[in-house]
Homo-oligomer: A and B are copies of this chain.
Amino acid sequence: MPNVNFQGRDIISIEDFTQQEINYILDTSRSMEPIAKNGSDMLKRKILATLFFEPSTRTRLSFEAAMLKLGGNNIGFAEAEIASVKKGENLADTIRTVQNYADIIALRHPLEGAAKLAAEFSNVPIINAGTGAEEHPTQALIDLYTIRKEKGKIDGLKIAVIGDLRYGRTVHSLAYALAKYNVELTLISPETLKMRREVLNIIQTKIPVAEEPNLEKIIPQTDVLYVTRIQKERFPDAAEYAKVKGTYRIDLKTLKNAKKDLTILHPLPRIDEIVPEVDATPQARYFQQAWNGTVVRMALLALVLGATK
């Protein structure tokens, strides 16, 4: 049993965790699988506040389900419009108020650094549920958990990440997380949506990273293909978008040369970067990710609230 203690800790950035700590979270997540099915009273009388200053049904419902399955309860809001922010209140004041109502806070916010700021003012633990374009640590942990569950390991895998690597926050947290393991990472994206230089600088010092515009070329040796949305509005003009759209769409043809045990992941929601025909293939594991989301968030809530060790 490693010497790790999460009680009272904030979950702000995946970079705050050692590989040993991450493995511990993943092990705890695995132990949550039966509890996610049958429920428990581990967090009875505990309250989670889900403060979502931008909407994210998926993440919010996942946190709330996790809390309920542990016997806890939820309060919160789903978008900034219905919050005191409308009256001009700053985040620090909101946090110093809500800490009186809840035992733990999950914060979603459009601004970089919001979770860090919240943690400075809060006397209850803060979990970053997605802030700015940089951080979505619980999603990264879910991705790691899914990879380990599907493959039995993380080390030694060839992992390709495809799509919008510039603006997608899940992909940045995932890149930092993967760089803590021995994986080979290939980054596939249109020129204008390449991985940010500052992320690249950090992960390249730790693991082999290749940038490769051509998915076909690397698909045969890929173990895990992590697909993200390419949003039209990120492109300066429609012609540019139309040009790359087809190249970064996964269909049955894409899978022809893929390994039989390739694992395709996607943080969801998806638009049309994976065609529906792929859903029925054994490689498609993105809907299972949602289940894993619940167990990983159960583990985090239980660990931070000291209900499990």
Q: Residues of A at under 8 Å CB distance from B?
A: 38-39, 44-45, 47, 49, 55-58, 61-62, 64-65, 68-69, 73-79, 81-84, 86-89, 92-94, 96-98, 100-102, 229, 268-271, 276, 287, 290-291, 293-294
Contact = CB atoms under 8 A, between A and B. Distances in A.
Contact of A47 (B68, B77, B81): B68
B57 A101 contact: no
Given A78-B82, A100-B287, A100-B291, 19 more contacts: A39-B45, A45-B69, A49-B61, A58-B84, A65-B101, A68-B73, A68-B75, A87-B229, A87-B269, A88-B271, A92-B276, A93-B270, A93-B287, A94-B269, A97-B290, A98-B290, A100-B293, A100-B294, A101-B290
A64 B290 CA distance: 23
A187 B158 CA distance: 68
A211 B135 CA distance: 52
Contacts of A56: 84
Contacts of A77: 57, 61, 78
Q: Oligomeric state, in number of copies?
A: 3
A268 B68 contact: no
A84 B101 contact: no
B290 A88 contact: no
Given A65-B101, A75-B65, A290-B96, A84 B269 contact: yes
A57 B268 CA distance: 28
A305 B93 CA distance: 32
B96 A83 contact: no
Contact of A88 (B89, B97, B269, B291): B269
A281 to B, nearest CB: 15
A76 B47 CA distance: 17
A44 to B, nearest CB: 8
Contacts of A75: 61, 64-65, 68, 74
Contacts of A61: 49, 75-77, 98, 101
